[in-house]
Amino acid sequence: MNRRKPQLLFLRAVAAFYLNVAGLHFISGGGIITVALRELVRSCNSIISKLYFVQQFARTKDISQLEEREKDEI
């Protein structure tokens, strides 16, 4: 459960960010601000996908290390 709390906080932060972007888009009514926000969202999506990949890689590495330890114990 302790491992999931940071993930939950991260997801909440991401959701809050996107809601703020949506609010700014609505207030701005389009134009240059909309283009800048779209680029910001693309950048954040790229960062989030990279973080997800790193997290999955770390989890896979942890699982493989646990499997190796179990083999060594047997």
pLDDT (tens digit per residue) in 1-52? 455 566 666 777 777 777 776 666 666 565 666 677 777 778 877 887 787 7
Domain count along the chain: 1
Against a cut of 0.85, is the pTM above it?
A: no
DSSP 15-74: HHHHHHHHHHHHHHTSSHHHHHHHHHHHHHHHHHHHHHHHHHHHHHHHHHHHHHHHHHH-
Which domain, by its residues, includes 36? 4-73
pLDDT at 57 over 70: yes
Query: How many whole angstroms from its chain centre is CA 37?
Result: 18
Judge whether 41 and 18 are in contact, CB under 8 Å.
Answer: yes
